[in-house]
Amino acid sequence: MINSIRKMKDIKKILEKVEALDSRVYDGLGMLAQFTIDIVENTRSDLHGQITSTAKIVSDDDCIGSLLYDAETVHEVMDKMISDYAVVAELIDILKSED
């Protein structure tokens, strides 16, 4: 029980950080590609759904792992010279964070 409470707090902290990133991405509309906006928004939405869902289909760790895989896959094929690269890198850092 204690472990699941700790995990819930961790996923909530991750959601807060993704929401802050999502807000900055929204403020930068027009400067970022739509797929970058979409991956941040989808990550925020999936984390929120994981927290609020009463019927957990996957564990919090599996949810975060899946979102991390998606972000890393997109990041691998991005051009390092575009601003989107840094946004997706920040998203990856958030999803990997332990605090």
Which pLDDT belongs to residue 1? 40
Residue written as token pair 């990550």: 43
What is the per-residue pLDDT across 5-61, written as a single tens digit (0 to 9) for each? 445 558 999 999 999 999 988 887 678 888 899 999 999 999 999 999 887 788 999
Which pLDDT belongs to residue 7? 56
pTM reported for the whole predicted model:
0.85
* CA separation for the pair 82, 35 (Å, rounded): 13
CA dihedral over 99, 21, 34, 78, signed as positive or negative: negative
Domain boundaries, the chain: 2-96
Instruction: Take residue 4 and report the two structure tokens written for it.
Output: 């699941």
What is the per-residue pLDDT across 65-98, written as a single tens digit (0 to 9) for each? 999 999 999 999 999 998 899 999 999 999 998 7
* CA separation for the pair 15, 65 (Å, rounded): 14
